[in-house]
Structure 1
Amino acid sequence: MSESTWKESAKGVIKDLRELASFTSDADGAHRVAWTPTWDKAQDWFKEKMKAEGAEISVDAANSVWAKIQGETDDAILIGSHLDCVPNGGWLDGALGVTGGMGAIKRYGKNGKKPKKTLYVVSWADEEGARFGRSCIGSSSVSGALDMEEAIKLKDNDGISFLEALKRYNLKIEDFPKARDQFMAKNIKSYLELHIEQAPVLESQGKSVACVYGITGCERQYITFTGQPAHSGAPIPMRHDAFLAAAQASLAFREIGLKYNAYCTVGKVKVTPDIVTIFPGECTISLDQRSIDPDVLKKIYEEAHDACIKAAADNKVEVVFKPVWSIPPTIFDKRLAELCKEAVKEETGEGTSMFSGPLHDAAEMAKFLPSIMMFAMSSKGLSHCKEENTPDKDLELAIAAFLRLVEKVSMNKS
């Protein structure tokens, strides 16, 4: 392809992104939370757009949507990402990867051309875990990592179970593992994913795009401190205040993250009773911990546990831990990383590479399949919010580099 053609294809992807945002977003951000009507509309939009390009559409046992263009050989490349988002999320998170794959498919199909290798694009089901707390539902069903006993117990903030939500889709959780068999029948040889960075590293370096060589591992849990609620007029040293224990532990998590150059995040806090004149007798917090180094991940997890035990003792309360999700760090395929850096360098003049703090479906695919990711810079590092953005000029560079990568992998014999 000529230089101008790469850019024109990239502009087409941006046009699709804006079209998707036009009916799945408002002034408060994007609303494509998985297992909701707006997400369903986004999935249907993907199906119709790909049908119009001559792609074959299918939906697997875990409700991930697939588009296929037959190549000159049955050996296949998979481009994947997700269309779901967090509540009041951004227009690019996940959607950039799906529409980037759509841009690759548009080169073939109705144009009467075949790629060297068969090309699949998948919109994975529920990457975010925003509603039920368990991320990467679709891709972990394929990788075999979905814990069925855990999935059966999942509930949203309104107390609706995951099993109940699936009835609307005529799906049964016991069928989700069949998605792996469906995947293995596709003869897929490599997995590629384009995503926004969701952090300020690239912007701080003045760079638009980078090869991603790995993803941090993650330990995610809920921690509940239980004391005794009572009147807010009681002296602080005499209280059994569950919130103060959680607050003390949360500050300790911050110091642990700084100590190891790792990530520790408390994203949810729930106090009971939730009354202004009563100090809480119970407080549940979430803790999300990440590192690219497996030894560091183990250390920060253990030290956070110890910090909670100390906070509970200092505040005369009890503490219990409920694991939610765990995934080890991921290092991507070296050969694909070389091709990815080549594509980035051809587009920008530099073969920039980095690791990802945010999690992605690629971490599930890399468990059993050569995989690689590419990042587009994020303005101010903001994501998972309505302010999420990447300027068009940077998006064009990243998308063009990604399409170059698809071409390289398609032409590569391995």
Structure 2
Amino acid sequence: MPLDPTRTVQELKDLRHLTGDDNGAQRVAFTDPWLAARAFLKQRLDALPVEQHMDPAGNYWATLKGESPRELLIGGHLDSVPNGGWLDGCLNVLAGLEVLRRVNEQYGGRPPVTLRLVDWADEEGARFGRSLYGSSAASGFFDPEQMARLKDRDGVTLGQALEKVGVTLAEAPQAQAELKGAAAYLELHIEQGPVLEGLGLPLGAVAGTVGVERHTITFHGQAAHSGSTPMNVRKDALLAAAKLAQEIYKIAERHGGVCTIGSVKTLPGIVTSVVETCELTLDQRHLNARALGAMWQDAQDAASRFADEGGCSASFTDIWNIEPILFHPELIAATEASILELVPGTHRLPSGPLHDAAEVARAGVPTVMLFVQSLRGISHNKIEDTLEEHIELSVQALDRLTDKAMAWIKAQR
């Protein structure tokens, strides 16, 4: 069974049909479409001589045992954002599945090192606001008490959602055992940005991922009748939040990073009342840890200033953070070599979006990522797309990188 990248393209289309609708992909973690995607993967893994299991955090593993117990991990995620694209996350998993098929056939079910494919649970964080849930449980950067406080828009807690799929939040950190034998980790992903398309290149090697600070900022004002309260005496929490929404663009420009207010909730949330409470989420990202810290401090200072100006107060809650992560230099070089065996040029770039690879790397596992070009640089959107020939090239590049990584692991002492 030689490598068949066209099969990966077809399986991606089949998964899109199974778990999407006219608005895009609907594989939000711990929902029925996500479970259907997991069943889709398991059905195909059942044709291979692999051991399958779900770990205590809800990550799904397929293991092809090799001559050496040292493990090469290939990872991705089947979950999506609501109304997401057809490639984000699932390309990683289904390309890894195709590589697993080829390796199994070539080595008669016994490769030089143990090869493992993992579908990380809730990479996106779309439902509970906390990205990289499953991989952080495996890496050890995981606080069950903090996670227990997370709720979705319907008031369902993360713990309740996990119970639906047979997982207990308190036991999730036991997933750390899955990385004990890991010698290297590979992850393929669409770029989700415009760099490779702008350079006219189908593939690129990823140098590392940016650091992220993610927080809730809550402005506390006073509810008052919208008809009888003069404008100059209002304590309008939304007004303070609106000023901050403009200020974060200045903060991003000043430090060379990016800032996003992704959600805003107001209370009492009725047309006849001045806003008493306004809660927003702030996401800040930068390649430099010091600059990232300065951005968050600037945001807090600005929020406090705008609150004071409007007779309000501001409070701050941490959601999650991760420092900038650099990938393994030898594996980056192997990635570039794999790309250049297929196309005449490549480019090394950082990743602005978060990926499970960052959590695996911070756990001390040598890690690298491979990017494939995204058309128009758009992701987390139903129009997300990549040329089919580029998808096929990415599967081939991951396959060649797998061989190089297995040889690299065997050479380590």
TM-score range normalised by the length of the shorter chain: over 0.9
* 1:109-120 paired onto structure 2 within 5 Å: 109=104, 112-120=108-116
Q: Which residue of 1 aligns with 2:34?
A: 39
Provide Cα deviations, 1:231-259, integer angstroms capped at 9, x if missing partner.
33444332211111001011111111122
How far apart, in 2, do the equivalents of 1:54 and 1:24 lie?
27
* Deviation at residue 110 of structure 1 after TM alignment: 5.6
Q: Is the 8 A contact 1:107 1:113 kept in 2?
A: no
CA shift for structure 1 position 206: 1.7
Aligned to 1:176: 172
**Separation in structure 2 between the aligned mates of residue 165 and residue 148 of structure 1, nearest angstrom:** 14
Is the contact made by 1:30 and 1:386 (CA closer than 8 Å) also made in structure 2? yes
Once the two structures are superposed, what CA deviation does each residue of 1:8-52 show, in whole Å capped at 9, x if it has no partner?
622221111111111000101111111111111111211121111
CA contact (8 A) 1:345 1:352 kept: no
Alignment pair present for 1:359 and 2:354: yes
Matched with 1:226 is 220
1:70 aligns with 2:65: yes
8 A contact 1:55–1:109 mirrored in 2: no
Bigger shift: residues 97-106 or 236-245: 236-245
Aligned to 1:208: 202
Say whether the 8 Å CA contact 2:201–2:346 is kept in structure 1.
no
Are positions 1:130 and 2:120 aligned together?
no
Task: Identify the match of residue 237 of structure 1 among 232, 236, 252.
Answer: 232
Matched, 1:386 2:382: yes
- Structure 2 residue identity aligned to 1:362: A
The code of the aligned residue for 1:209 comes to L
- Give CA-to-partner distance per residue, 1:361-410, whole Å, 9 cap, x none: 00110011000001111121211121111111222222222221111111
8 Å contact from structure 1 (residues 225, 283) kept in 2 = yes
- CA offsets 1:316-370 (integer angstroms, 9 cap, x no match): 2111011100110000111111101111222221231100000010011001100
Mapped pair 1:333 → 2:321:
no
Aligned to 1:372: 368
Q: Does 2:211 match 1:217?
A: yes
Question: Residue 113 of structure 1: CA displacement?
Answer: 4.9
Q: Distance in 2 between matches of 1:182 and 1:383?
A: 30
Query: What corresponds to 2:82 in structure 1?
Result: 87
Native 8 Å contact 2:49 2:109 kept in 1: no
Question: What is the aligned-residue identity percentage?
Answer: 40
Q: Secondary structure at the residue paired with 1:224? A: strand
Alpha-carbon distance in 1 for matches of 2:113, 2:344:
28
Once the two structures are superposed, residues 102-147 of structure 1 have per-residue CA deviations (whole angstroms, 9 ceiling, x without a partner) of: 0111103366354322211000111111112221111111111111
- Partner residue of 1:270 out of 260, 265, 276: 265
C-alpha change, 1:382 and 1:351, in structure 2 (3 Å) is closer
SS for the counterpart of 1:286 is strand
Structure 1: how far apart are the matches of 2:163 and 2:398?
A: 37
Match 2:182 to one of 181, 185, 188:
188
Give the 3 Å change call, closer, same or farther, for CA 237–205 of structure 1 in structure 2: farther
Q: Compare 223-232 and 283-292 and name the one that shifted more.
A: 223-232
Q: Does 1:12 align with 2:12?
A: no
Matched, 1:296 2:283: no
2-structure distance, mates of 1:178, 1:396:
36
Any conservation in 2 of the 1:69–1:108 contact (CA below 8 Å)?
Answer: no
Pick aligned residue for 1:199 from 193, 204, 209 = 193
| Letter paired with 1:158 | D
Instruction: Name the aligned partner's letter for residue 177 of structure 1.
Output: P
Q: Deviations over 1:139-183 (max 9, x none)?
A: 111111111110121211111112222222232212112111243
TM-score by length of 1: 0.94
In 2, the alpha carbon distance for the partners of 1:210 and 1:45 equals 29
CA distance in 2, matches of 1:27, 1:211: 33
Kindly report the root-mean-square deviation, in angstroms, between the aligned alpha carbons of the 2 structures.
1.6
User: Structure 2 matches for 1:146-161, cutoff 5 A?
Assistant: 146-161=142-157
Q: Name the residue aligned to 2:92.
A: 97
Q: Give the unaligned 5+ runs of structure 2.
A: none
The alpha-carbon distance between structure 1 residues 59 and 315, as it changes in their structure 2 partners (threshold 3 A), is same
Structure 1 distance, partners of 2:240, 2:160, is 35
- One-letter amino acid matched to 1:191: Y
Deviations 1:293-329 (A, max 9, x none): 1111011111111110111112221110111001100
Q: Conserved in 1, the CA contact under 8 Å of 2:24 and 2:381?
A: yes
SS at match of 2:4: helix
Aligned length: 407
1:396 maps to which residue?
A: 392
| Deviation of 1:279 (Å) | 2.8
Query: Aligned match of 1:349 in 315, 335, 344?
Result: 344
Q: Does 1:29 align with 2:31?
A: no
